[in-house]
Amino acid sequence: MSAQTRESQTRRLAAPDIAARKGGQPIVCLTAYTAPMAEILDEACDVLLVGDSVGMVLHGLPNTVGVTMEMMILHAQAVMRGSRKAMVVVDMPFGSYEGSPEQAYANAARMMKETGAQGVKVESGPTVPETIAFLTRRGIPVMGHIGLRPQAVLADGAFKAKGRTPEERERVIAEALQTAQAGAFSMVVEGVAESLAREVTAAAPIPTIGIGASAACDGQVLVVDDMLGLFDWTPRFVRRYADLRSDIARAALAYADDVRARRFPAAAETYFAKD
């Protein structure tokens, strides 16, 4: 490879770059599931998260429990093909890492090898700090996920904000410290009040990336389809930066009108045989 070719290649951000942002410039993260969307988001984002929210956002599942390794690998490969600069982190799906550290290592190593992503994300739980330590000691960069854990929706009964009682607050703070101590390079903090996000961010030596967790965090993540306005309902913590659902519906109706009135295709959109 020539020096010029090497220079023209953009180095992707990696776990140490994100870890070094603790208390510094806020980390910008969005979810991405497809190559074209990853290509559009790459410029703006430090981290593209191939979230298991893909199950709900693109596959119509009621929650993330049904998401499989194969789904995550396919979407992560697409996001890697579409992006050049952002760090790509892939969610380990429910059931792929909770069994034992060895199970987690086998699946996380497969995820890294088959996708080329720069890290994986695991949701917190009693056995998870041990697993994070097992993975990070073996060279797998891990992002933690504390507070509201979507994969625990069936155990919790609903998607519920966390830290509403003193016991729950203590548990979230303990999860944050254990996640950092185990070697994670950053962690998502989901669905907690501002005061708890502030306390966790001050206590943890690694960046916190908030979703529904206030501006007190070291960075922010949103589900891209939420912020683009692709759903008719968005949670309170989401800011809609576009209204693509209305734009798409309007475009589809305009197309349907044109087809039905034989206005589409017009001559400019038609191939004619040359005589």
**CB of 90 or CB of 275, closer to ligand KIV:** 90
| Residue 221 in the binding site for ligand KIV (CB under 6 A) | yes
| Residue 53 in the binding site for ligand KIV (CB under 6 A) | yes
Minimum separation from the CB atom of position 36 to ligand KIV (A): 18
Q: By CB under 6 A, how many residues form the interface with ligand KIV? A: 10
Query: In the range 77-96, which residues lie near ligand KIV by CB under 6 A?
Result: 91
**CB of 154 or CB of 249, closer to ligand KIV:** 154
Minimum separation from the CB atom of position 8 to ligand KIV (A): 32
Question: 224 — phi, psi (to 5°)?
Answer: -60, -40
Nearest-angstrom CA–CA distance, 179 and 130: 9
**CB of 46 or CB of 52, closer to ligand KIV:** 52
Query: In the range 131-170, which residues lie near ligand KIV by CB under 6 A?
Result: none
Among 86, 187, 204, 211, binds ligand KIV (CB under 6 A): 211
Closest by Cα among 186, 195, 191, 244 to 219: 186
Task: Confirm if 135 and 108 have CB atoms less than 8 A apart.
Answer: yes
| Residue 41 in the binding site for ligand KIV (CB under 6 A) | no
Among 18, 30, 46, 52, binds ligand KIV (CB under 6 A): 52
| Residue 122 in the binding site for ligand KIV (CB under 6 A) | no
**CB of 51 or CB of 101, closer to ligand KIV:** 51
Nearest-angstrom CA–CA distance, 259 and 255: 6
Does the annotation count 190 as an active-site position?
Answer: yes
> Which residues are within 8 A (CB) of 13 and not within 5 positions of it... i.e. 6 or more apart?
46, 47, 85, 86, 87, 118
**CB of 129 or CB of 191, closer to ligand KIV:** 191
Task: Confirm if 3 and 197 have CB atoms less than 8 A apart.
Answer: no
Nearest-angstrom CA–CA distance, 98 and 107: 11
Catalytic residue among 123, 175, 190, 199: 190
Bridge partners of 211, per DSSP, are 190
Report the interface residues with ligand KIV, using CB under 6 A. Answer: 31, 49, 51-53, 91, 188, 211, 221, 223
Q: Where in the sequence numbering do the catalytic residues fall? A: 190
